[in-house]
Amino acid sequence: MYNQGAVEGAANIESGSRVFVYEVVGLRQSEETDQTDYPIRKSGSVFIRVPYNRMNQEMRRITRLGGKIVSIHPITVLEPVNGKTAVETTNSEVSELVTPVSANSEVSKLVTPVNADSEENGKATPVNANSEVKGFAKSPAKDKKGNTMTQGKAKHADVPVNTYRPNAPFIGKCISNEPLVKEGGIGIVQHLKFDLSTGNLKYIEGQSIGIIPPGVDKNGKPEKLRLYSIASTRHGDDVDDKTISLCVRQLEYKHPESGETIYGVCSTYLTQLKPGDDVKITGPVGKEMLLPEDPEANVIMLATGTGIAPMRAYLWRMFKDNERAANPEYQFKGFSWLLFGVPTTPNVLYKEELEEMQQKYPDNFRLTYAISREQKNPEGGRMYIQDRVAEHADELWQLIKKEKTHTYICGLRGMEDGIDAALTAAAAKEGVTWSSYQKDLKKAHRWHVETY
């Protein structure tokens, strides 16, 4: 799972100006990775709105930040972008962006790309920048409207960051590699557990680690790392502080021109690991998806596919008996609600765990599935997570309004617009403009998003 968000400017533009939307990949990810001098392979896009008279200046700035422009779309000054009036981007800050993938921002070759190998948190997907592990919902068209659902940064002290770097990674060992998709399901998704006992890799829930696959890329250079969201709590699946776990789906898709089947490099490597195999690990990184420290907080979780990874870590911390015993200072007393989208019932990852926690803590945990190929939405189409959010929009809106509520969204890009639309309608019933309210949630560090 990757941490990406849309970039929105703060400056105003005069009525009548021509405005363009740049779709950009490869920008820096966060304050931590801003300081690094190594490349991280990333998927996903940010959308930057630029007035005509600043186009060249913005192109140069994007290049300096390591970005690559993959498409440009004209809009008018008053044309709303995802419910917002287009505004000019400023030269000030590009927060929560990723380390350079490419410094080549050639505008002469702009096309809307097919992402060939955007290794998901699997962060990968053929058309979507991350349909690898999260690619269980319908692959959406590229978002040309921008994205209101950028990440908000949580306030946490003493969060470990970049203990291990690509030039000196930690060498862990694969302890186990277990399938998560049941018979009759779609794709290959594995739960991997690695031994950390010989190192000093500490992490907390909501962070990610980097994996460096062996071998060289198509240019003959060593493979770059891919980031994967951690699926275990800080104590690990064995609650002994000696392991870390990932949830990885193998990327597989047809090349749009040749029709050849393409497999993700890192996801294939990971899903085929054997117990005892060595793995190069970097990190941890990330502060955007961290849980609130308040055990009485409310937590809304919206996930698709392997977007369940950080949610599993949250839920273990909240409800697993061994975890609760290991964390006497954190005894969850709030309310959590997971809305989880998958294509088929056999693709419900960690199904037994989730349903056991719901049965044991019915007053504190609510579980709602959106099973796209088995359930129908009110219009008779497939039931995606956006449809479930719309179905429960009024309840979710009432919960979101509570000061102690945090919302976490993780999975395939494309779910955001439907979520926005549903909450826009619910908020409008009380005369509230959702897009403005959402900005306040982000400022309060109560709105957290990783989509690809």
SS3 content of the chain, % helix, strand, coil (to 5): 20, 25, 50
| Global pTM exceeds 0.75 | no
Predicted local confidence at residue 45, as pLDDT: 65
Instruction: Give bridge partners of residue 301 from the DSSP assignment.
Output: 338, 408
Q: Sign of the C-alpha dihedral, residues 442, 157, 450, 323?
A: negative
Alpha carbons 21 and 88: distance in angstroms, whole number: 10
- Average pLDDT score, the chain: 78
Predicted local confidence at residue 104, as pLDDT: 31
- Per-residue burial over 157-186, b if 16 or more Cβ lie within 10 Å, else e, is eebebebbebeebbebbbbbbeebbeeebb
DSSP assignment string, 159-183: ----SBBTTB-EEEEEEEEEE-SPT
Using a 10 angstrom Cβ sphere, with 0-12 exposed, 13-18 middle and 19 or more buried, the burial of residue 226 is buried
Which amino acid, one-letter code, is at 295? Answer: P
Using a 10 angstrom Cβ sphere, with 0-12 exposed, 13-18 middle and 19 or more buried, the burial of residue 18 is middle
Q: Give 251's contacts (C-beta < 8 A, 6+ positions apart).
A: 117, 118, 119, 120, 122, 124, 125, 126, 131, 132, 135, 262, 263, 264, 267, 268
Predicted local confidence at residue 60, as pLDDT: 67
Q: Which residues of the chain have pLDDT under 70?
A: 1-19, 27-45, 52-53, 55-57, 60, 64, 70, 73-157
Helix 351-360 / helix 308-319 crossing angle, nearest 10 deg:
40
Alpha carbons 418 and 137: distance in angstroms, whole number: 13
Residues annotated as part of the active site: 228-229, 410, 450, 452
Predicted local confidence at residue 446, as pLDDT: 96
Predicted local confidence at residue 110, as pLDDT: 30
Predicted local confidence at residue 65, as pLDDT: 75
Predicted local confidence at residue 56, as pLDDT: 65
Are 125 and 43 within 8 A, CB to CB?
Answer: yes
Query: Strands, DSSP E only, in 208-242?
Result: 208-212, 226-229
Predicted local confidence at residue 62, as pLDDT: 75
Predicted local confidence at residue 137, as pLDDT: 34
Predicted local confidence at residue 298, as pLDDT: 98
